[in-house]
Structure formats: structure tokens, C-alpha cells
């Protein structure tokens, strides 16, 4: 009994000591509980909610309950709303730290890219607060990962996010930029597919201009930028004479006519933000972007256009004839799965003509289209042979059926003769 009593006393002493030395629970910051409820509500959905507290960005004393002077005490590092020009360094304090970013799979070079961007040079070098900083693009208290469809930086939201500045006529006039860039982009093939929800195949602003290092692609980089998506076209273009020509830029002729004509390489023919799917006019028209806009006098370009259009139309005609033959053969009972595959292959040859035409190599283009036509010729030959086989099979079946009926008739006559005799 005595030893049990001693054990109980020792246990009580240890518990009492732990209670005295335990760290008291930290109350929820007063900025959340008393004043900034709206921001706190947004922050509950923020990607930083488990890694940053209010004071990490705003400073101050979070333990001062209902005491604004103590909460906002400069001696406690209170800065309130950070000045716009300090925001890149503030965010970069964490996002440039390899140790803090190591387990988050986040690049640590965003601030370095931002410093050399159009936005960064305006804010950090010239002190122009009108240019974009981190919070303009990502938000402040409700920052979400780009994979979240509600994020400002989600692919489908990027035109509106960039347009919050780039569609402001007054702001853009101050920087000498047009304010209709986003509205033009939304009419393009890229913008329409993006609005239709096809985000996987639709470039957005950052795909061409970059993210934190946003800038306009220049003469030497336009092909590389477009080739990120249009890889086959880029490879073929680099084989061609246009790629090697310094004259493949609109301002080589329109030097004095302003920014509208600062178009290079791919953009010289296809435009910049209002890019449309190329149609027949790119070969036959005379307006900007068409072959004959630059090649106004008869030259090799005219012969190349005739080759492309002539042989392409020949292939289209042969494909229509083949398709008609396939459909007719199906109606007669032939199974033509392989022949339909050949048709699809020729259709892919037509699709491949677009990238290939950028090489400007007439012999390769001719050989490519002629190969498609030969495939169709072979397909029609196979269909005709199968039709002959089908005709022969039907003839054999008819002869066999006739002989069977004849034999049946003779047998019937024989049976009747036997019955009469009996």
C-alpha cells in the first residue's frame, strides 16, 4: 500500500510539472477573429493557408486582441498592404528559396524571370507601379493552383486575367500598346477553341509570351515559340527559303508604318493574335499573309502554288472516286475495312500537306501528293479485283444452284416413274 501511494504521488508531481511547462495554445490571430473576416474567408481556400500566416506578408502582432495600435505596431514589423513595387521581392523571398520550395515541385527562378520581363523592368527598374506584379495575376488572399478552374491563372481564365490590364485603353495608351489584343485573340482559332473548353490544344497568352518572364517573341524566336505546338510545321519551315531570309518580316517593306507591321516569320503570313485557320486565300489571295502579297511578279513561288493546288485537287478528286467505289462495293456485299484505312491515310496525307508546304520544296511536295494518288489507284484496283472475285463467286453459286435444282428435278421425275411402275 505504501509503495502504491508513493507511485501515485510521483505521477501527480510529473503531471503537474508538465502542465506548468507546457506551451499555451496560440489563439487565432486577432486580424482573423475581429477585423479582416472577408480576407480570412478567402484565405481559407488559399494554397498558402497551411504554410504562411498573416504576419508573414503584413507583419504586426497577431496576439493583440481588439487592440489596433498593438496589432499594427511598426515595432512588430507591421507594413499593412505591401507597396506594389515590394511585392515581387516579398513573394520571391519564399519562391526563390530552394529549401522552402524543394518539396513543393515549384521552380525557384520566377523572380529572376520577372526581373527581365516587360512587367518587371517597368516596376523594379523604372518604379512604374502601373505594371503587373504577382498579386495582379495570382490574387492576394485566395490564390489557387493553376490546375484549379477557379484560379485566375487557369488556362480558360487567362485571357480575362491578362485582359484586366491589356483591355484598359487608358492604361495601354500610357505604355504605347493596343487595348484590343484580347478581344482580337478571342476571335482567333486559338481563342475560339479555348472558349469551347478545348484547353489541352489551345495556346493561351503565356504559351507565346511566357509566364513570369512575359515578353513579346522577336524575329529570332517566333519559329521556336510556334513550334512548341506546331512541331512538324516548324521543322519544315526551317528547311525552307523563308527561314533563311531576313526579308521574311513585314517591316522590311513597311518600316515606317507602325507596330501593326512588326510581324516576323510565322506571324508575317498568319498574323499575331487574330490567327485563323489558313484557307484557300493564303495561296490565291493578294492581301497580307498570302503568297502573292509579296510574290507579285511571276516567279518560283507561282509555280509552287500551281503545283500545290493542282496536285492537291487531283488527290481530292481521286479520293472522292475511291470513296464512291468503296460505298458501291459495300452495297454489293464486299467487306472493305483495309480500303477505308487507305482512304484515311490519304486524308492524313492532305493534312500533312500543310506543314510540308512550309518547306517550299516543290519536288518533295509533288512526291508526297503523288504517293497519295498512287495509294488511291491501288485501292481502286483492289476493289475492282474483289468485285471480279465476287462476280465469279456469284456465278459459281448460280451454276451450282442450277445444277442442284436440275438434279432435284430429275430425282423427282425418277421417283414419280417408280411409283407408277409399282
CA dihedral 38, 41, 42, 48 (to 10 degrees): 130
Note the pLDDT of residue 169.
96
Note the pLDDT of residue 29.
66
pLDDT of 10 strictly over 60: no
Note the pLDDT of residue 335.
62
DSSP state of 259: G
Note the pLDDT of residue 25.
39
Residue ranges covered by each domain of the chain: 302-421
More confident position, 339 or 344? 344
pLDDT of 173 strictly over 80: yes
pLDDT digits (tens, 9 = 90+) for 13-72: 434 444 444 333 334 666 777 788 888 888 988 999 888 888 889 988 878 777 788 888
More confident position, 262 or 138? 138
Exposure letters 293-329 (e unless 16+ CB within 10 A, then b): bbeeeeeebeebbebbeebbeebeebbeebbebbeeb
Note the pLDDT of residue 5.
45
Under 8 Å between Cβ of 187 and 274: yes
pLDDT digits (tens, 9 = 90+) for 96-120: 999 989 888 889 999 999 999 999 9
Once rounded to an integer, what is the mean pLDDT over residues 406-414? 87
Q: What's the first-to-final CA gap in the chain, in angstroms?
A: 128
More confident position, 213 or 343? 213
Once rounded to an integer, what is the mean pLDDT over residues 347-364? 91
pLDDT of 4 strictly over 60: no
Note the pLDDT of residue 390.
66
Note the pLDDT of residue 137.
95
- Model confidence at 256, in pLDDT bands (50, 70, 90)? low
**CA-angle at 232, arms to 230 and 235, nearest 5°:** 105
Once rounded to an integer, what is the mean pLDDT over residues 126-145? 94
Average model confidence (pLDDT) across the chain:
84
Ramachandran area for residue 80 (φ above 0: left; ψ -120 to 50: alpha; else beta): left
pLDDT of 257 strictly over 50: yes
Percent of the chain with pLDDT over 70: 85
pLDDT of 7 strictly over 50: no
- Give residue for cell 506546331: 230
Helix axes 362-421, 300-331, angle to 10 degrees: 10
Note the pLDDT of residue 167.
96
pLDDT of 383 strictly over 90: no
CB atoms within 10 A of CB 36: 17
Measured CA to CA, the distance from residue 33 to residue 283 in angstroms comes to 67
Note the pLDDT of residue 251.
63
- Give residue for cell 507511485: 7
Enter the pTM of the model.
0.76
pLDDT digits (tens, 9 = 90+) for 300-341: 889 999 999 999 999 899 888 888 877 777 777 666 666 666
Once rounded to an integer, what is the mean pLDDT over residues 125-139? 94
More confident position, 61 or 184? 184
Note the pLDDT of residue 6.
46
pLDDT of 179 strictly over 70: yes
Note the pLDDT of residue 343.
73
Amino acid at each position: 500500500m505504501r509503495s502504491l501511494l508513493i507511485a501515485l504521488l510521483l505521477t501527480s508531481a510529473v503531471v503537474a510539472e508538465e502542465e506548468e511547462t507546457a506551451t499555451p495554445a496560440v489563439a487565432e490571430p486577432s486580424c482573423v477573429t475581429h477585423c479582416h473576416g472577408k480576407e480570412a474567408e478567402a484565405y481559407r481556400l488559399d494554397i498558402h493557408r497551411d504554410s504562411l500566416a498573416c504576419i508573414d506578408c503584413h507583419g504586426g502582432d497577431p496576439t493583440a486582441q481588439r487592440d489596433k495600435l498593438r496589432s499594427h505596431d511598426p515595432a512588430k514589423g507591421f507594413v499593412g498592404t505591401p507597396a506594389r513595387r515590394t511585392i515581387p521581392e516579398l513573394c520571391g523571398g519564399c519562391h526563390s528559396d530552394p529549401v522552402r520550395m524543394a518539396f513543393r515541385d515549384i521552380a525557384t527562378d520566377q523572380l529572376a524571370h520577372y526581373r527581365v520581363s516587360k512587367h518587371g523592368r517597368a516596376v523594379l527598374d523604372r518604379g512604374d507601379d502601373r505594371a503587373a506584379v504577382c498579386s495582379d495575376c495570382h490574387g492576394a488572399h485566395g490564390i489557387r493552383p493553376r490546375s484549379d478552374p477557379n484560379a485566375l491563372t487557369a488556362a480558360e481564365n487567362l485571357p480575362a486575367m491578362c485582359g484586366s490590364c491589356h483591355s484598359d485603353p487608358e492604361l495601354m495608351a500610357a505604355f504605347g500598346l493596343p487595348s484590343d489584343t484580347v478581344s482580337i485573340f478571342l476571335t482567333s482559332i486559338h481563342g475560339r477553341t479555348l472558349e469551347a473548353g478545348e484547353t489541352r490544344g489551345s495556346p493561351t497568352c503565356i504559351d507565346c509570351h511566357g509566364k513570369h518572364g512575359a515578353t513579346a517573341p522577336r524575329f529570332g524566336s517566333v519559329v521556336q515559340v510556334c513550334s512548341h505546338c506546331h512541331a512538324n510545321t516548324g521543322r519544315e519551315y526551317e528547311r525552307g527559303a523563308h527561314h533563311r531570309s531576313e526579308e521574311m518580316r513585314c517591316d522590311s517593306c513597311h518600316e515606317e508604318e507602325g507596330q501593326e507591321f512588326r510581324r516576323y516569320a510565322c506571324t508575317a503570313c498568319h498574323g499575331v493574335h487574330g490567327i485563323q485557320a489558313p484557307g484557300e486565300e493564303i495561296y490565291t489571295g493578294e492581301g497580307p499573309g498570302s503568297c502573292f502579297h509579296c510574290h507579285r511578279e511571276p516567279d518560283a513561288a507561282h509555280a509552287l502554288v500551281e503545283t500545290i493546288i493542282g496536285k492537291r485537287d487531283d488527290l481530292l478528286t481521286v479520293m472522292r472516286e475511291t470513296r464512291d467505289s468503296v460505298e458501291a462495293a459495300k452495297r454489293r456485299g464486299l467487306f472493305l475495312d483495309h480500303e477505308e484505312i487507305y482512304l484515311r491515310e490519304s486524308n492524313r496525307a492532305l493534312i500533312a500537306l500543310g506543314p510540308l508546304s512550309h518547306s517550299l520544296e516543290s519536288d518533295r511536295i509533288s512526291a508526297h501528293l503523288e504517293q497519295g494518288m498512287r495509294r488511291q489507284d491501288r485501292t481502286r484496283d483492289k476493289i475492282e479485283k474483289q468485285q471480279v472475285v465476287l462476280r465469279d463467286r456469284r456465278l459459281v453459286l448460280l451454276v451450282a444452284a442450277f445444277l442442284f435444282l436440275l438434279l432435284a428435278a430429275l430425282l423427282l421425275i425418277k421417283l414419280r416413274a417408280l411409283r407408277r411402275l409399282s
